[in-house]
Structures are given as structure tokens and as C-alpha cells.
Amino acid sequence: MHEPRAVSVALQKGGVGKTTLAVNVAERLSSRGYDVLLVDLDQQGNATRAVGLEDAYTGETHIGHVIDDEDDTGPHDVIREREWFDVLPAHEQLDAVESSIRNATFGELRVKHDVVEPLLGTEYDYVIVDTAPTIGPLSDSSLVATQNVLVPLLMSQPSLSGLDRMTTQQLDPLRRELPIDVLGVIPNRLEGDNEERRVLSAVEASRFRDRLPAFGRSREFDDPDSPGPGIRKRVAFRRAWRDGLPLAVYDPDSDMVERLDAVADIVENGGVEDVEHDA
Ligand SMILES: Nc1ncnc2c1ncn2[C@@H]1O[C@H](COP(=O)(O)OP(=O)(O)OP(=O)(O)O)[C@@H](O)[C@H]1O
Ligand SMILES: [Mg+2]
């Protein structure tokens, strides 16, 4: 039996696959029989819309009420059940919620105290939080609440710079107070160009070397039976998204389902296992 775990899917760079990874990992974990809560802390509300909760995005009550000390709205008043997992939706007012967190004393602790702590290990085995591409009180709140991070990373220089920024401006400062762990760095949307080799080598030479899962390592370039390292660029991801479905539901035969399962393993195990160390 694995211990319950909360994980933020985060990188301060837009369009790298945070929402895609959050939704699909939540679904893979739920397919194993776990109770999973997906929390959407991005004002864009992409995860919320992807699971068909447009009405909640503009609804009357939202997470801002849950974390407001003067309001008795609880998480159950805003959590919605979907077929695969439960969802705490984003809301168009999340900007205002972010300001209220910024202005409150220890505001960044509220998501932890009012959402994750009461639910994790009681009602949910896993809480997966989708975050915005910006550093701010909301993404800080998410990291503080989950203390675990999964980083989807495109094999591009801007993505790598985003990881560097997140590390120096957010993770390292928070880590002086809390043990926040990067569970995995997940190369995403690879299609096989030379820039990818260069960027992947750079990750393999960085402090995140041992955070790459086996399927995300350069060695996969040379394995004739492998589609190549990382989560590959597959049109099925976009089509699944368009239909409001996780990939494994839209196309159970997709070769990327296995890799999403490997990411779910990382969440289950609390990190990457079986990493070969340099001799
Ligand atoms: N492996 C992949 N193959 C093909 N398309 C992908 C893949 N991963 C993500 N996408 C597509 O890329 C786009 C951006 O992905 P996504 O919205 O998950 O990124 P994000 O990091 O959450 O973006 P934002 O920073 O805006 O929240 C989406 O259209 C998604 O369908
Ligand atoms: Mg997103």
C-alpha cells in the first residue's frame, strides 16, 4: 500500500503540458482504484473546462470561499464528481483570490490547511494540483500545500530557463522553510530533433539528472524498440482534449498510455525509481 500524496504539476512556462499531465496522471491513478482529487489552481481554468465544468468556472461559490477564514464554505461545497476523479474547479475570480492570499498573513498556508490537509489520506489517496505558468501566491500555495512537484518540460531553451527560474526564485526559497521535493522532470512533446538531444543532455548534466524517469533519458534515442525519450508529441493528446477525455480513455491503445502510467508510478512511489547512476 502506498502512502497518500499530494503533487503540484508546475513550471513557470506556458504551454509545456502541465494541464495535460495533471489530468492524465489523475486518470491513471484513478484507474488503479485510488480516490483522486484534481485541483485546478490556474485562473485560465483549462483543466476545469477540459473535464466539462464550465459552469463551475463562473459559479457562485469557489475555492476563494473555501480558503476565506470568514466564510464557512468547505471544500465539499465546491468539489464536483467526474467519471474518473473528483475536481476542485478553477474560477474566473482566481486573480482576486490570489490577491487575498498575498494580503493575508500566512495566506500561502491556506490551501494546505483548508483543502489538502483535511482531504488527503481521509477522502483522497492522491491530490493532483494543476498550476498557472506564473510565479505568485497561488503557485506558492500549491507547492506549500503539496510539497511535491512534477515538472513537465519541453526540450527547448525557454522551457529549461523556466525550470531554472522556478528553482532559483521559488523552490530554493521555499525549501528553506519546507521540504519540497521535485518528484520527477518529465520531458514532453518530443518529436525527434537535434535541439531535443541538446536540451535533454543539459538536463542530464543538471541537478535534476536523477529526476528523469527511465523513459525520459537520452539512452532511449539509441533503443530501436523505443519511440524515443519522453512523452512524445501525439495528435491524440489534442484530440482527447478536444473531446474532454483523458488519453487512456480516448485511445487506450496509444503508446503514450504506458508512459503516463510510468508518471503515475512516480507519484505512487514518491519519486523516480531504478535510476542508474553514473559509474
Ligand atoms: N505530448 C503531447 N503531444 C501533443 N500535444 C500535446 C502534448 N502535450 C501537450 N500537448 C498540447 O499542448 C497544448 C498545451 O498543453 P497544456 O495546456 O497541457 O500546457 P500547460 O503547461 O498546462 O499550459 P498553460 O501554461 O497555458 O497552463 C495543448 O493543446 C495540449 O493538448
Ligand atoms: Mg495549464
For the chain, 279 residues long, give each residue's pLDDT as a single digit of tens.
689 999 999 999 999 999 999 999 999 999 999 999 999 999 999 999 999 999 999 999 999 999 999 999 999 999 999 999 999 999 999 999 999 999 999 999 999 999 999 999 999 999 999 999 999 999 999 999 999 999 999 999 999 999 999 999 999 999 999 999 999 999 999 999 889 999 999 999 999 999 999 999 999 999 999 999 999 999 999 999 999 999 999 999 999 999 999 999 999 999 998 655 543
Q: Is the CB of 189 under 6 A from ligand 1?
A: yes
CATH number assigned to the domain covering 5-269? 3.40.50.300
Query: Is beta strand 80-81 parallel, antiparallel or unpaired with respect to 86-88?
Result: antiparallel
127/37 Cα distance (integer angstroms): 5
pTM: predicted TM-score of the whole model, two decimal places: 0.97
Distance 25 CA to ligand 1 centre (A): 14
Report which of 250, 253, 233, 182 is spatially closest to residue 23, judged by C-alpha positions. 250
Residue whose CA is closest, atom 30 of ligand 1? 238
Q: Is the CB of 18 under 6 A from ligand 1?
A: yes
Q: In what order do the strands lie in the sheet with 231-232?
A: 80-81, 86-88, 36-40, 126-130, 5-9, 148-154, 181-190, 231-232
Report which of 46, 27, 21, 70 is spatially closest to residue 183, judged by C-alpha positions. 21
Distance 24 CA to ligand 2 centre (A): 12
Residue whose CA is closest, atom 15 of ligand 1? 17
79/244 Cα distance (integer angstroms): 18
User: SS3 string of 134-172?
Assistant: CCCHHHHHHHHHHCEEEEEEECCHHHHHHHHHHHHHHHH
Question: 41 near 139, Cβ under 8 Å?
Answer: yes
The residue extents of the domains of the chain are: 5-269
Output the CA angle 152-120-102, nearest 5 degrees.
65
Task: Looking at the CA of residue 241, tell me the nearest atom of ligand 1.
Answer: 31
